[in-house]
Structure 1
Amino acid sequence: MIRLDKVVTDRGSRYAVTGGAVAGRAEVDTFLRDLKREKRFAKATHNTWAVILSDGGPIKNDDGEAGAGAVILKMLEREGLHDCVVVVTRWYGGVHLGGDRFAHVVTCVRAFLEAWRQRGG
């Protein structure tokens, strides 16, 4: 598992990214459940995620951050990364970010992908 905290801070909102290898939908569910066992992730405003499973294809979840799961999924597709779930977490800071929120999701996923490559993923 790779976790990068405080990847982006903007107008009070904070972003983190977490990801790791999974083999099938059951492991995705376990990964998400384990992440949310940490109180701060359970209380986050959004835990948006995506994965491309070798045995099940693409899956995404916006968790209330409309369109964010699609952004993550598109980046995973471009990278050709399968069987690795990526979760972008946002703690809302009280100010709407508009389209900037998508740029922040991209920044988080890029940071994860770089860390993943550095670890030989």
Structure 2
Amino acid sequence: MKIIDNVISDRGSKYAVSGAPCTSPEEAKAFIKELCRKKKFAKATHNTWAVLLDEGPLKNDDGESGAGMVIVRMLEREGLKGHIICVTRWFGGKHLGGDRFRHVQDAVRVYLEGLG
């Protein structure tokens, strides 16, 4: 599991991005469970994630409506199958509107660049 903390900060909201190889829905659930064992991530407002599997995309918005699909689209563009990416947000008290989707994209981009 690779975690990149404090990727983005905007109006009090803070973002992190994490990921790992993942080849099944069970592995995706295990990844999120393992991530949330860290108290900081368990207390996050949103742990939005997605993975492209052979049987199709799997995603969870975790209350950040539409954010999972943003991650799916980026994974499809990269052609990255079998790798889960999770963007975590701690809400800072101010609504970000459409900027939240840009932040999800930026966080995923940072993670993908780290993969090489």
Give the TM-score of the pair, scaled to structure 2: 0.98
Over residues 51-109 of structure 1, what are the superposed CA-to-partner deviations in whole Å (9 max), with x where a residue is unaligned?
A: 0012x310111000011001000000000000100000000000000000001000000
Matched, 1:25 2:25: yes
The residue that corresponds to 2:103 in the other structure is 104
Runs of 4+ in 1 over 3 A off after TM superposition: none
Deviation, structure 1 residue 24 = 1.1
In the alignment, the residues of structure 2 paired with residue 29 and residue 46 of structure 1 have an alpha-carbon distance, to the nearest angstrom, of: 15
The residue that corresponds to 1:82 in the other structure is 81
Query: Which AA in structure 2 matches 1:90?
Result: R
The residue that corresponds to 2:69 in the other structure is 70
Gaps of 5+ in 1: none
The residue that corresponds to 2:13 in the other structure is 13
Gaps of 5+ in 2: none
In the alignment, the residues of structure 2 paired with residue 45 and residue 9 of structure 1 have an alpha-carbon distance, to the nearest angstrom, of: 14
> How many pairs were matched up?
116
Secondary structure of 1:15's counterpart equals strand
Q: Alignment RMSD, CA only?
A: 0.7
Q: Percent identity?
A: 58
Query: Which AA in structure 2 matches 1:115?
Result: G
